[in-house]
Amino acid sequence: MKEEIRMTSQSRYPFYNVMNEQEAWDAHTRNIVRSRLEPSSQLRYLEMEELQLLRSVCRVLLDETRSEMLAFVVSHIDQVLASPVGEAQRKAAVLPQGKLIRDGLQRMRLSTLLYDFAAMDQTELAALEQLLSQLSEGCAESAEVWTGFDQKAFFKSLLSMAADGYYSHPDIWSEIGYGGPAYPRGYVRASLGQIDPWEANSPMNHP
Amino acid sequence: MTLQRKYADEEVDACIVGAGAAGGVLAKELSEAGMKVVVLEAGPMLDPQQDFASDELAMRKLGWQDTRIVDGTDPLTMGHNNSGRSVGGGTVHFTGVFLRFHADDFHTYSTDGIGEDWPLSYDELAPYYDKIEKEVAVSGPKHFPWGEYHGPYPYPEREPLSPNAYLFRQGCEKLGIRSSVPPLAILSAPFEGRPPCINRGFCNQGCMPNAKFSTLLVHLPKAINSGAELLSDCMVTQVLMHPNGKASGVAFTHNKVSYVQKARMVILSAYAVETPRLLLNSATVQFPDGLANSSGWVGRAIMPHSSYDVMAKFDKEIRIYKGTPVLATTQEFYASNPAERGFARGYSLHAHGARPLETVKGIIGDERGLVWGKQLREAMLEYNFYGRITMVGEVLPNPDNRVTLAEDTDEYGLPRAKVTFSYGENDRKMIQEAIGNMSAILEAEGGKVAFVHPDTAHLMGGCRMGTNPDRSVVDAYGQTHDIPNLFVCDASVFVTSSGSNPTHTVMALAARTAEHIVNKVKRREL
Ligand SMILES: Cc1cc2nc3c(=O)[nH]c(=O)nc-3n(C[C@H](O)[C@H](O)[C@H](O)COP(=O)(O)OP(=O)(O)OC[C@H]3O[C@@H](n4cnc5c(N)ncnc54)[C@H](O)[C@@H]3O)c2cc1C
Ligand code: SF4
Per-residue pLDDT tens over the stretch B363-395: 999 999 999 999 999 999 999 999 999 999 999
| Ligand 1 centre distance from Cα of residue B410 (Å) | 20
Is the minimum CB–CB distance between A33 and chain B shorter than 8 Å? yes
Average pLDDT over residues B207-226: 98
Statement: the pTM of the whole predicted model exceeds 0.90: yes
CA nearest neighbour of B456 among B498, B508, B421, B483 = B421
Distance from CA of B166 to the nearest CA of A (A): 7
Of A90, A159, A181, the CB nearest to B55: A181
| Cβ-based contacts of A157 with chain B (< 8 Å) | none
**Are the CB atoms for B426 and B337 separated by under 8 Å?**
no
Hey, whose CA ends up nearest to atom 50 of ligand 1?
Answer: B94
Report d(CA A105, CA B331) in Å as an integer.
Answer: 48
Q: Do A26 and B53 touch (CB under 8 A)?
A: yes
Nearest residue in B to A136, CA atom: B370
Give the helix ranges, DSSP H, for chain A.
27-35, 48-62, 67-82, 97-111, 122-137, 143-146, 151-166, 170-176
How large is the C-alpha radius of gyration of chain A?
A: 20
| Residues near B466 by beta carbon (within 8 Å), at least 6 away in sequence | B116, B118, B119, B472, B473, B474, B475, B495
Across the range B501-505, mean pLDDT stands at 98
Size of interface A-B (CB pairs under 8 A): 220
> Judging by DSSP bridges, how do beta strands B415-420 and B448-453 pair with one another?
unpaired
Q: Do B356 and A176 touch (CB under 8 A)?
A: yes
Flag whether residue A18 sits within 8 Å of chain B, measured between CB atoms.
no
Task: Please check the confidence at residue A8 and state whether its pLDDT lies above 90.
Answer: no
Length of chain B in terms of residues written: 526
Give φ, ψ of A155 to 5 degrees. Answer: -65, -45
The tally of CA atoms less than 13 A away on the side-chain side of residue B525 is 7
Q: Does A39 touch chain B (CB under 8 A)?
A: no
Q: Which of residues 388 through 407 in chain B touch A, CB cutoff 8 A?
A: 406
Residue A121 has pLDDT above 90, yes or no: no
In this predicted model, what pLDDT tens digit does every residue of A130-157 receive, in sequence order?
999 999 999 998 878 999 999 999 999 9
CA B20 to ligand 1 centroid distance, Å? 6
Chain A residues whose CB is inside 8 A of the B166 CB are 190-192
- Residue to mutate, B203, B217, B320, B326, ligand 2, most ligand atoms under 8 Å from C-beta: B203
Residue A118 CB neighbour total at 10 angstroms: 12
- What percentage of chain B carries pLDDT values higher than 90? 99
Q: Which of B167, B316, B377 should we substitute to test contact with A (largest number of A Cβ atoms within 10 Å)?
A: B377
Spell out which residues of chain A touch residue B318, defining contact as CB-CB under 8 Å.
192
Q: Is omega for the bond preceding A197 within 30 degrees of 0, making it cis? A: no
Q: Do A63 and B313 touch (CB under 8 A)?
A: no
CB distance B301 to B462 below 8 Å = yes
**Residue numbers in A near B378 (CB within 8 A):** 7-9, 63
Tell me the CA distances in angstroms from B255 to A108, B1, B85, B410, one per residue in order.
41, 8, 16, 15
| pLDDT reported for residue B1 | 63
Mean pLDDT across chain B:
97
User: Residue B402's closest CA among B123, B24, B76?
Assistant: B76
| Domain ranges within chain B, ordered by starting residue | 7-50+70-522
Q: What's the CA-to-centroid distance between B96 and ligand 2, angstroms?
A: 9
Residue B271's closest CA among B463, B128, B46, B467? B463
pLDDT value, residue A3: 52
Ligand index nearest the alpha carbon of residue B94: 1
Which candidate, B205, B209, B143, places its Cα nearest to that of B178? B143
DSSP secondary structure, B218-271, as one string? THHHHHHHTT-EEE-S-EEEEEEE-TTSSEEEEEEEETTEEEEEEES-EEE-SH
- CB contacts of B58 in chain A (<8 Å) are 29, 32
Please state the separation of Cα B179 from the chain's center in Å. Answer: 23
| Candidate from B29, B503, B512 with most ligand 1 atoms within 8 A of CB, to mutate | B503
Model confidence pLDDT, tens digit, residues B10-30 = 999 999 999 999 999 999 999
pLDDT tens column, A10-61 = 999 999 999 999 999 999 999 999 999 998 778 999 999 899 999 999 999 9
Q: What is residue B365's DSSP assignment? A: T
Q: Is B209 in the pocket of ligand 2 (CB under 6 A)?
A: yes
Q: What are phi and psi for residue B309, nearest 5 degrees?
A: -110, 140
- Tally the residues of chain A: 207
Distance of residue B441 Cα from the nearest chain A Cα, in angstroms: 16
Does the structure's ipTM exceed the value 0.85?
Answer: yes
What is B7-50+70-522's CATH topology?
FAD/NAD(P)-binding domain (3.50.50)
- The minimal CB distance from A92 to the residues B360, B382, B418 is found for B418
- Residues 6+ positions from B169 with CB-CB distance below 8 Å: B161, B179, B328, B351
**How many angstroms does the Cα of residue B85 sit away from the middle of ligand 2?**
19
B260 touches chain A (CB under 8 A): no
User: From CA B57, how far away is CA B396, in angstroms rounded?
Assistant: 33
- Cross-strand pairs, B306: B393, B456
The sign one gets for the Cα dihedral A62, B205, B180, B454 is positive
Q: How confident is the model at residue A113, as a pLDDT?
A: 72
**For residue A207, pLDDT beyond 80:** no
Confidence at A124, pLDDT banded by 50, 70, 90: confident
Contact A185 B198 (CB under 8 A): yes
DSSP symbols for B167-179? HHHHHHHHHT---
Contact call for B76 and A176, based on CB within 8 A:
no
Q: Which of B54, B81, B370 sits opposite A136 (nearest CB)?
A: B370
Q: Which atom of ligand 2 is nearest to the CA of B199?
A: 1
Question: Region B404-424: what's the mean pLDDT?
Answer: 97
Phi, psi of B89 (to 5 degrees): 55, -140
What values do phi and psi take at B39, rounded to 5?
-115, 125
- Any alpha helices (H) in B412-494, and if so which ranges? 425-444
Residue B205's pLDDT band, with cuts at 50, 70 and 90, is very high
What does the pLDDT look like over B4-15, one tens digit per residue? Answer: 899 999 999 999
Please tell me the distance in Å from B351's CA to the nearest CA on chain A.
Answer: 14
pLDDT tens, B177-199?
Answer: 999 999 999 999 999 999 999 99
β-pairing verdict for B155-156 and B139-140: parallel
Residues 168-227 of B with CB under 8 A from A: 197-202, 208-209
